Structures are given as structure tokens and as C-alpha cells.
Amino acid sequence: MKKLIIAVSIIVVSGSLSQAAETGYIPARTAFGAPDFQGVWSIATQTNLERAARFNGSLVISQEEAIRLEAQVQARTEASLLPSDPDREAPSSGQNVGGYNTFWMDPGSQLAVVGDEIRTSILVDPVDGQLPYSEQGRLNYAAAMQRRQSYDGPEVRPLGERCVVGFGSSGGPPKLPVLYNNLTQIIQTPGHVVLVAEMNHDARIVRIDSPHIDPPQYPWLGDSIGYYEGDTLVVETTDFHPQQSLRSSLEHRFYGSVKMKVTERFTRTAEDSVLYQFTVEDPENYNQPWSGELPMNNSAQQMFEYACHEGNYALPGILAGARRADADGIDYAPTDPGQ
């Protein structure tokens, strides 16, 4: 099993080895001899999963270009924090009035930096920075997006909306940054590693040197097992819950079947940073495995309560609005499943 994981993850493995060689950093060890990853880490970044067209395929940009892009983000953020115009006109009937205020959002202010490279996408393979969907995968994705527009009852609404797990794969695997609550606390014991995501308090328990559960139980975040390879923690996750097929947020979305396998690698590269790398395998939906990497930066902030619970005011309101639309004969679902 370990040889197979190494083979499919050759791109990200070589990256972690070169990082260690360049820095010469020797991580601290736990009392039981494992590399110490314990602490609170942030994956907040302005870098998205897929590479935007404006980068013309380049994975790495200059510091000058990064400063310019980050200044644009800062300007938009500051503009969004200005007081609302008290004389503005009320929105017309049926118009989307918007969602959150931005003062408490924390998507990160900088692009991801891996080694000395400023990255334009989390994806590093394929080299074009785009998810390698197969024809069937695109059909599955479109169907999942169409199901997302159903309002027949609470069971069909997205997991994040129902407060079952965090949205956008914040708990992983793979772990991806979202608009806020991007902290992860790592806790280690001799037989387990616990990855606690701040959003929704999703706790993924990794069993060290243990086989996958047989028969599968399909937990929300999959079945995670791991082992230590030198200074790297390797985690393999399979048997995902079928309702976790579509991971969606404003920054990124992807589709994965219950047969998807995710191999993650955590490598401590400095006192204040961990290199996080992953490879996703899902032959049903993708033409090839795809890999990504981003830094996890040590945070001085504490983990806060994510006060979300199923059955709150939002979900009854959403369903009540749908029932009113049904009564008025309004088609509330967009025609484009990608909207």
C-alpha cells in the first residue's frame, strides 16, 4: 500500500523532499518520536484551486505582480467596509439583496507562497492548473449542480447549508481554503492524529498504522488512515459519504465519487509552516490523478466556536421561500446548472 501511495504522489513527494533539503529544517519530535505537527494552522490564501485565465498558464508569478493583485483585493475589501448609503433605493421585488457583511470574512490577504514561489493556483498537476474532468465527470458535476437547485426538503440541501459539515471542503480531504474560519488544529497521540477544522468543528480522526474499516462505513469526511515517512505525515482517505460528492464554495468546487481516494502529505518545513500536499484519484470523474499544494501557516489566533446548527432560522426560511415560489408558480431554479 505504501509503495502505491508513493507512486501516485511522485510529484508532490519530490516537492516535499526538495523543500526539506533546501531549508535544512529539522522538526521537533513528540514524546513518542513522531515529527511534531501540533498547533493551530491557517490555510487562508487568495490563491484558488484552479488557475485563472489571466495568468496565461503560469504557476508562479513575480513579487511585483503579486503585490499589485493583493493591493486590488485590499482595495475591494476596504470599499466593501464603507457605510451603506442611507438614501439608496430599495431593491426590486425578487432581486437578490446579497448575503454576508464582509467585516468578519477572512479569506487571506496574500497569494500562497511555497518555498520562494508565489503561486497562482493550488493545483500543480495537471500543469495547466485545471481540473482534468472526464466526459462522465462533467456530466456528474452538472447533475450534482442541478440537484443543488432542489428545495423539496432539508435532506436535499447542501451539507454546509444544513450545518452538517463545513462548506467548500474546509475539513477535507483535501483541505481547501474558504471565505472564513480557515484554521485547523492538529492533535497527535501515538495511535491517532486529529485534524480539527475551525468551520463546523469537523474533526477528522486519522488512525496511524491501521487498515481501512471493512466493511466500509462511509463517514462524512471519509475513512482516514496514516503513517509517518521520515518527517512527513502521510494520510490516505477512502470511502467517502455519497452526500460529500460535490464540494462547493465561491473560491472553488469539485466533484468526487464515493470511490475517490485522497492522499495527503504534511511536511514541517519551518517552525511556523507546514507544507500541505495532496493527490486526488477518481477514475470515474477524472482523466488522471490531480495534485495540489499550499502552505499551512502557524497562527497565533485561537480556534473560535462556529455557531452553526441544523434547523436554524435560515433553513426554514429557505424552504418557506421555495414553497411560496411553488404557490406563485415561480421557477426559482436557474437554467444553467453552473450558476
Contact 129, 51 (CB under 8 A): yes
Q: Which residues contact 17 (CB under 8 A, 6 or more apart)?
A: none
Smallest Cα–Cα separation from 47: which of 114, 100, 115, 102? 114
Whether residue 292 is predicted with pLDDT greater than 80 in this model: the reply is yes
Percent of the chain with pLDDT over 90: 57
Compute the average pLDDT of residues 307-322: 80
Residue 229 is predicted with a pLDDT of 97
Contact 168, 160 (CB under 8 A): yes
Cα–Cα distance, 241 to 221 (Å, whole number): 7
The residue behind cell 421557477 is 331
Amino acid letter for position 70: E
Residue 200 is predicted with a pLDDT of 87
Confidence band, pLDDT 50/70/90 cuts, at residue 83: confident
Confidence band, pLDDT 50/70/90 cuts, at residue 250: confident
Residue 42 is predicted with a pLDDT of 95
Q: Which residues contact 316 (CB under 8 A, 6 or more apart)?
A: none
Chain-centroid distance of CA 143 in Å reads 21
* pTM of the full structure: 0.87
Confidence band, pLDDT 50/70/90 cuts, at residue 99: low
Q: State the DSSP code for 311.
A: T
Compute the average pLDDT of residues 166-171: 88
Q: What are 141-155's pLDDT values in tens digits?
A: 999 988 888 898 888
Mean pLDDT (the chain, rounded): 87
C-alpha neighbours within 13 Å on the C-beta side of residue 252: 25
Confidence band, pLDDT 50/70/90 cuts, at residue 159: confident
Smallest Cα–Cα separation from 117: which of 336, 266, 300, 295? 295
Contact 32, 190 (CB under 8 A): yes
Whether residue 73 is predicted with pLDDT greater than 70 in this model: the reply is yes
Q: How many CB atoms lie within 10 A of CB 111?
A: 21
Residue 311 is predicted with a pLDDT of 62
